[in-house]
Structure 1
Amino acid sequence: MGLKRTDIAVAAAFAAFALIEELTIAMPGGWWPFALAGFTTLILFRRRIPLLAMIPNALAATSMFYVDATIDGEKTVNFRLWQVVSMMIIAYTIGRERPRDRRGYAVIALTFGMYWSFNPGDPMADVFFPLAPYVLGRGVAAQARRSEVSARTIADLREQQARDAVMEERVRIARELHDMVAHSVTVMVIQAGVVRRRLEAGLDVDHDLLRSIESSGRDAVGELRRTLGLLRGEEGEPAQPPAGLDRLDELIAQVREAGLPVTVRREGEPAPLLPAVDMSAYRIVQEALTNVLKHAGPARTTVEIAYRPGGLHLSVVNDGTAAALRTGGQGLIGMRERAALFGGDLEAGPRAGGGFAITARLPR
């Protein structure tokens, strides 16, 4: 344990106090300069040797170092105040710094016992001067330990919150990548398959179909760049406005070009939605249609958007074969997460009459 600025400051202040007392009162005894130098040194290094420093301080404050003086014709016993101050500083240091073990308690008890044995002064003062600083030091040490524990707890809590925030952001980005890129790539694969089959059959290729494949690829690349920019901490405007139900017609046209017959039904008066809710509703419909493309083929599909008092209700129902009856996978997990994020719910499963249905409710 090295010296701190506070150690030097306390030792210097003590020495200055003692010199002022000696030069002002001029008490007899030529030994005081040597004693003052020794006590100042003990105070300077008190945190290194607190128990060892306490013994000479306790003895120095006893009656063997008192001096006789005559005041107003009466003989009295006086002592140097800086001796007691030195003892109080060391007693506080022991209470503040010393580890709590049996050896430490034994030395403290022995030192205080020596002080009380050789000191015939005021009993209350004899108890107060050594014990009060020691008890104060113990209290300060206990408070410091509680503050340290509290600080560690707060630091651990903040660290956990930071980890949770990072994980939540990772999940959000992974969900966005899956919903956007998986959809675009699925549409591209299906449309490319159509092109391949037409070429194998010697038929002409629809140029609009090729343009749709190109557009889907560009959308996927743009989304990847935007997401990677977010991961790198880059700021900037996104390549296009955030997806929402106002782009539902574009989505439906895209999946129709991929060969999926889709019917759209709307119910109720459209009401403004929070941007995050609007985007989640769009992504749920998008992922549901992607699942139909991947697993049900050209199954007839109905998309319903209903604005009701209880919130926004969505459903994507198809009449596909058993190949479409899947209840697992990242897509369904992501849809459920999006609904739960706003206190909504989502159900997915096979229909009694055949096919597969996904229904969701998002509070407005």
Structure 2
Amino acid sequence: MTDLRGAEWVRPKPSPRSMRGDLGLAVLLAFAALTTSLLYQRTGLIAEPAEPWVWGLGLGLATLPLSLRRRYPVPVAVIVSVGFFICGQFAVPEILIVNICLFIALYTVGAWEERRALAVWARIAIGGALILWLVLSLIISSSDTDAFPGLSRSGLFSAYATFAVIQLITNLMYFGGAYYFGERSWRAARAQARLEAQGRELELERQTSAAQAVALDRIAIARELHDVVAHHVSVMGIQAAAARRSIERDPVRSAAALEVVEESAHTAVEELRRLVHTLRTPEAETGSSTVGIAQLATLIAESQSAGVPTTLIVAGDPRPLPMLVDVALYRVVQEALTNVRKHAGRGATADVRLRFTAGTVEVEVSDDGVRQRAGEHSEGAGLGIRGMRERIGAVGGTVQAGRREPALGAGTGGFLVRASVPAPAPAPTPAYANSAHPAESEAGAIDA
């Protein structure tokens, strides 16, 4: 008897409303027992009924304790069975209501007693004791000719023997029914509790999943905004500074720098507008993106226009990539070049290498900056590198970022970012894939 977490299931205590209902039931049964006992007495079926105090004691014990049947199931069942015994043994003229009360008491033990071993043995003990009393009463009555005078006692299958068998079968069914329905009620309550616990866990899991989805969406939005804004704003800042310094002595160069600022601002606005549109109407997303490794040349040109000489090197045979991989690699190069402009210092150059191998595709961005890049020299530091790892990790790849080994002494190493993503090359198409199989062609020639 365990719930979903393996702990012992405990049935909740009865509510005040159910306790009031039990009290009302006990009072109603007591009144009904008194009424039916008076009616039975009126019929004269019992020649010598019990004394009034025995009468009241038996009926009271059989009915009134039921007001506490859910709180104290076993003690109530014992008391009710004592009242039942008094009514039957001392000729209290009542049969119907006391039988109903005993059934309710035994049923309640099975349905509400938390100690299941006690519930089982209490019902077995009460039922066994009352059946034993019945058997002894039948044996005693078999030799008393005044008891059941109309029933013959001669022979093995006499009328009295048949009557005794009927009494035993009826009582066995009576106690068996109380046992069965009590157990069924307990199991139904336990199953209901399990379903409710499972519903609560599912609801908690749904809420947790929703919260995680919101958190992931926020991270994705933050990463996308960081990639878009940081890149274009860094270009705009560098070009605006160049325009400010050369506006008097070289107006043409200043105008060219301002054109780059204008173009970067326009591009940033367009990408932000596209991002907002996707967020507002995700169903309108076509699944394609306007950025990818095919646009790396544009990033190289922007980097060069921002004053950082940049070279693009492609190794291997280029091939189409999945959309998510394509966008992730593009964003890594974009963020890495943005960091070069921000941290590598004046005079730095950058190299972008795109490698296609049989099982992977890799991008590498390195620079020869001479100044330590605050926040970028330690493993995993900075929002930019964190965003790279999140993007590449989402498509099953890895990112390495750190200082390069110094080439000509301290301060000449620069920084390197390398992202690698599994991207198996498509299987080669057999030379005869689009033509008839050689054997088939030969067979055709023979047939001809």
Question: Aligned pair 1:312/2:361, yes or no?
Answer: yes
Question: Aligned pair 1:299/2:358, yes or no?
Answer: no
- Structure 1 residues 9-158: aligned runs within 5 Å: 95-96=110-111, 100=114, 113=126, 117=130, 120=134, 122=168, 124-158=172-206
Q: Where does the alignment leave 5 or more consecutive residues of structure 2 unmatched?
A: 1-14, 22-38, 43-66, 89-94, 136-167, 408-412, 424-448
Q: Where does the alignment leave 5 or more consecutive residues of structure 1 unmatched?
A: 8-27, 32-44, 66-78
Q: Which residue of the partner structure matches residue 338 of structure 1?
A: 391
Residues 57, 236 of structure 1: alpha-carbon distance in 2 compared, 3 angstrom cutoff: same
Of the structure 1 ranges 199-208 and 306-315, higher mean CA displacement relative to structure 2 is found in 199-208
Contact 1:58 1:115 in 2 (8 A): no
Instruction: Compute the TM-score of the two structures, normalised by the length of structure 2.
Output: 0.58
Give the Cα separation in 2 of the matches to 1:132 and 1:322: 85
What secondary structure is seen at the aligned counterpart in 2 of 1:346?
Answer: strand
Q: Which residue of the partner structure matches residue 302 of structure 2?
A: 254
Among residues 411, 418, 426, which one is paired with 1:359 in the alignment? 418
Contact 2:324 2:395 in 1 (8 A): no
Give the Cα separation in 2 of the matches to 1:137 and 1:177: 59
Q: Deviations over 1:19-46 (max 9, x none)?
A: xxxxxxxxx9699xxxxxxxxxxxxx99
Q: Which has the higher contact order (CA 8 A, sep 6+)?
A: 1
Query: How much has 1:148 moved relative to structure 2?
Result: 2.8
Query: How much has 1:310 moved relative to structure 2?
Result: 2.4
Q: Which residue of the partner structure matches residue 377 of structure 2?
A: 326
Query: How much has 1:284 moved relative to structure 2?
Result: 0.4
Q: Which residue of the partner structure matches residue 162 of structure 1?
A: 210
Among residues 281, 294, 318, which one is paired with 2:329 in the alignment? 281
Contact 1:89 1:133 in 2 (8 A): no
Contact 2:389 2:399 in 1 (8 A): yes
Contact 2:297 2:312 in 1 (8 A): no
Among residues 402, 412, 435, which one is paired with 1:349 in the alignment? 402
**Greater percentage in strand:** 1
Q: Deviations over 1:157-200 (max 9, x none)?
A: 33322222222221111111111111111111111111111125
Question: Between Structure 1 and Structure 2, whose CA radius of gyration is higher?
Answer: 2
Give the Cα separation in 2 of the matches to 1:195 and 1:226: 29
What secondary structure is seen at the aligned counterpart in 2 of 1:323?
Answer: coil
What secondary structure is seen at the aligned counterpart in 2 of 1:306?
Answer: strand
Q: Deviations over 1:11-67 (max 9, x none)?
A: xxxxxxxxxxxxxxxxx9699xxxxxxxxxxxxx999999699899979998969xx
Give the Cα separation in 1 of the matches to 2:294 and 2:310: 17
Query: How much has 1:359 moved relative to structure 2?
Result: 1.2
What secondary structure is seen at the aligned counterpart in 2 of 1:204?
Answer: helix
Q: Deviations over 1:289-331 (max 9, x none)?
A: 0000111144111111111012101111111112346342100
What secondary structure is seen at the aligned counterpart in 1 of 2:364?
Answer: strand
Q: Deviations over 1:89-112 (max 9, x none)?
A: 7765665567x389xx89x959x9
